Structure 1
Amino acid sequence: MIKHFHACAPLILSGAFVLGAGAFAQAPDFRADAEHLLGLIDEEYAYFDRFDGRNPARSANGVDPDAVTDSASLLRFAECAINAIQDHHAILGISSRSSYGLTPSYNDLWVEHRNGAYVITDVRDGSPAQAAGIEPGWRLVAVAGQSTDEAVSELCGGPYKTAAAKAYAARVLAAGPRDEVREFVFVDASGGEHALSLPNLYQVETPDRPLISVTEHDGIRVLRFNNSLGEDGLIAAIDEALSGERPDGLIIDLRDTPSGGDTLYARALMGRLIDETRPYQRHAFPQIERDTGVARQWVEEVLPRGDSLAGVPVVVISGRWTGSMGEGLTIGLDAVADAVTLGAPMAGLLGAIYDYELPETGWTVKLPTEALFHVNGTPREAYVADIPLESADLRGPNGEDLALERAFELLRSR
């Protein structure tokens, strides 16, 4: 999540934007901004424990301040530096038409590196990848005419040595450059090979949807958030969705919240489901302890508001396209509303991101600066649902929503 802005929102400049020093009346000192970015990562990034306390960008492929001479080379430098920290929640506020799409917001394939192979472990519901018939368990063997191993080794910001690093790089490649059709070769569970072309998700129009889709079946009300956790008007939409007769159960469906949002809206929902002030999330600044030896950590609380629905049984559904504030809301509902959580591993976006400005160009860089935890101390990115699923987006043979059906079963059996 972002402290004051929409988390993981795709802050992409117009496709007509052309990089070049001529865009500025007086060319900035681009190299100075390159050095400044490395310093920002040194000072502000919250998760250096993943790299034994060091900044991997300082020794990564493609991260050479001496090679930065103009806006195009600065952008490439910055993209390589961000890749080096292998964190889908670290984002540049500027891009070109050839920049890779953001994961999870503009990706429909979740890739892991397992036993030497790049395995599709989840496919986004309603996406081009799902429509093409790609299934969990398939192996991604080629990207844009290269073997996946070769493409990963050539992605700047490496080397990508661990399974987690290779998986990060493969997901970047799976999202693809934002102005290009994606070309893949997969091998299915039976050994069959599939060469597929998929549109980039930047090229796919999103249909108009309400902020929350509300349905009710036999007294159980379903609130599906349509990637809306940072949208104006959401508080009113939440209150409208919870109005009327008291439901026998609530299903909070957060499977389509990849772009995160704002704690304001998460607290607006949680506040309706409690009747006393409750802690819902822990925060920490690891870099303060790293620099001073003195820890700084605090607990955020949520207060009741409006007509309370405390005591109504709640099931939360989450998955790989539950990102940032969606992840925070999942662990928050677990903490404050005694919700049963059902789902696949979430996007695992790290911490709360803050905006920083490169002084010469004014470009924005978003870095995870606060570490976030469940109130029980579990890091948010390590949270496991009460009822874990391999995929929360998987459909049955007749198109049935398997995770949603399971949520109904849980509430009916209580």
Structure 2
Amino acid sequence: MTFQNASLILSGAFLLSASAIAQTPDYRADALYLLDLIDAEYAYAHRFDGRNPARGAQGVDPDSVTDPSSLLRFAECAVNALQDHHAVLGVSSPRSYGLTPSFNDLWVEFRDDVYVVTDVRAGSPAQAVGVTPGWRIASVAGLPIEEAVEGLCGGPYDTGAGKGFAARVLAAGPRDQARDFVFLDADGQAQALSLPNLYQVETEDRPLISVTEHEGVRVLRFNDSLGNGDLIAAIDEALSGARPDGLIIDLRDTPSGGDTLYARALMGRLIDDAKAYQRHALPQIERDTGVARQWVEEVLPRGDSLAGVPVVVLAGRWTGSMGEGLTLGLDAVADAVTIAAPMAGLLGAIYDYDLPHSGWTVKLPTETLYHVDGTPREAYRADIGLESADVRGPNGEDLALERAFEALGMESR
């Protein structure tokens, strides 16, 4: 497992030239613009009964914004208030919290009044030191977890879902420092651990798709590559040669999402005729005009068809955004069997918006997305549900992959 390093594009942005000082941007105006932007464009306001939760949230005070540093804090707090891992800023500093799920190896939820680790990313620093699902977080960065959640800007986090969101932000940690935790293990014993931040983990080269084959069944594991410009060629290479008896599409390591172009490139090889792939809607239009707008996106066949080859899809917590869309799309167009834990639940499709004075980019979920049967993408459940798609056997067996072979009528690998 490897993790990509993200560029911190604001790390030098606080240094203004003499000419820039003469024309200092109106940072407060950008703060007000961001609040209005969320009002106008955020597609999931129904989660907050139609209101903008950033207004009045902790750390979201336009009058406090006077410079780039205070604007960044304001914007990060406003985005946190949406409790939506798909709403992100295009700017950051070394102290900004890492993105979930791309740069987080712990999935944390608030259950029964405790903060419990419900999944651990395969091959990650957390897994390497023995953190397992079921462990509880007692403290993070030297603070009791409840105190840390209450202090995270963008709150209050007064629902179970909100507390889980805040805990995942804290678990990712500031990008420039190690993450210090006290966990309670399965026996209730305290385990004090310091984990490297995923932004600091050295990466290694991996193929865009790892391909293996066993008795005619071909396994394609996508290595967080759904936005890579060379992926179409890699897809065609992975599907070349003799027609397989079955395909296993492993999307358990696609947390960074990608582009629908590459999803359609894969699905197009598995069909003979145009098929509906997903539904889109712009709820803001209906909210503003009373007239709904919704449309269906199709995928078209391309290249040598593998239509009719049985397909199984593996997905889990580190299947994000386009990985989630591809899972639903393969269900719809290729009649795939899906085997998955709940996925990352990244909401909708994001649009980029620029703040007019600073020029900073804000990425907001603006479209709502659905399976063709009308199920919201974030509510989709697999044909075969798992608590953790990366669950391992006592000797490290990949039990989800074994289930995939079984679904194709083969013995467990």
Residue 5 (structure 1) aligns with: none
Residue 62 (structure 2) aligns with: 65
> In the alignment, is the contact (CA less than 8 A) between 1:11 and 1:94 conserved in 2?
no
Tell me the distance in 2 between the aligned counterparts of 1:12 and 1:58: 29
> In the alignment, is the contact (CA less than 8 A) between 1:48 and 1:54 conserved in 2?
yes
User: Could you tell me the TM-score, scaled by structure 1's length?
Assistant: 0.96
Map Cα deviations across residues 174-204 of structure 1 (whole Å, 9 max, x no partner).
0000001000010012111100000000000
SS of the residue 1:412 aligns to:
coil
> In the alignment, is the contact (CA less than 8 A) between 1:394 and 1:401 conserved in 2?
yes
Q: Which one of the candidate residues 203, 216, 228 is aligned to 1:231?
A: 228
Q: How much is the aligned-residue C-alpha RMSD, in angstroms? A: 1.4
Q: Which one of the candidate residues 315, 323, 326 is aligned to 2:323?
A: 326
Query: Aligned-pair distance for 1:13?
Result: 2.1
Are 2:332 and 1:335 equivalent residues in the alignment? yes
Letter of the 2:148 partner, please give it.
A
Map Cα deviations across residues 355-379 of structure 1 (whole Å, 9 max, x no partner).
0000101100000000000000000
Q: In the TM superposition, what are the counterparts of 1:330-369 in structure 2 within 5 Å? A: 330-369=327-366
Residue 145 (structure 2) aligns with: 148
Letter of the 2:324 partner, please give it.
E
Q: Which one of the candidate residues 367, 374, 381 is aligned to 1:377?
A: 374
Tell me the distance in 2 between the aligned counterparts of 1:186 and 1:12: 30
Query: Aligned-pair distance for 1:86?
Result: 0.4
Map Cα deviations across residues 205-252 of structure 1 (whole Å, 9 max, x no partner).
221001000000111000000000000110010000000000000000
Are 2:170 and 1:173 equivalent residues in the alignment? yes
Where relative contact order (Cα < 8 A, 6+ residues apart) is larger, the structure is 1
Q: Which one of the candidate residues 131, 134, 140 is aligned to 1:134?
A: 131
Query: Aligned-pair distance for 1:394?
Result: 2.1
Tell me the distance in 1 between the aligned counterparts of 2:129 and 2:301: 45
Instruction: Provide runs of 4+ in structure 1 moved above 3 Å.
Output: 9-12, 20-25
SS of the residue 1:59 aligns to:
coil
Residue 78 (structure 1) aligns with: 75
Q: Which one of the candidate residues 95, 105, 121 is aligned to 2:118?
A: 121
Residue 289 (structure 2) aligns with: 292
Tell me the distance in 2 between the aligned counterparts of 1:10 and 1:351: 25
SS of the residue 1:353 aligns to:
strand
Letter of the 1:170 partner, please give it.
A
SS of the residue 1:274 aligns to:
coil
Residue 157 (structure 1) aligns with: 154
Residue 210 (structure 1) aligns with: 207
Letter of the 1:200 partner, please give it.
N
Residue 52 (structure 1) aligns with: 49
Are 2:14 and 1:30 equivalent residues in the alignment? no
Map Cα deviations across residues 328-371 of structure 1 (whole Å, 9 max, x no partner).
00000000000000010000000000000001011000000000
Map Cα deviations across residues 13-51 of structure 1 (whole Å, 9 max, x no partner).
258526366683421000000001111101000000100
Q: Percent identity?
A: 76
Q: Which one of the candidate residues 256, 264, 283 is aligned to 2:280?
A: 283
Q: In the TM superposition, what are the counterparts of 1:196-207 in structure 2 within 5 Å? A: 196-207=193-204
Residue 19 (structure 1) aligns with: 14
Q: In the TM superposition, what are the counterparts of 1:267-278 in structure 2 within 5 Å? A: 267-278=264-275
Query: Aligned-pair distance for 1:12?
Result: 3.7
Residue 247 (structure 1) aligns with: 244
SS of the residue 1:56 aligns to:
coil
SS of the residue 2:378 aligns to:
helix
Tell me the distance in 1 between the aligned counterparts of 2:6 and 2:289: 34
> In the alignment, is the contact (CA less than 8 A) between 1:344 and 1:392 conserved in 2?
yes
Tell me the distance in 1 between the aligned counterparts of 2:16 and 2:77: 20
Letter of the 2:176 partner, please give it.
D
Q: In the TM superposition, what are the counterparts of 1:402-413 in structure 2 within 5 Å? A: 402-413=399-410
- The number of residue pairs the alignment matches comes to 406
Q: Any gaps of 5 or more consecutive residues in structure 2?
A: none
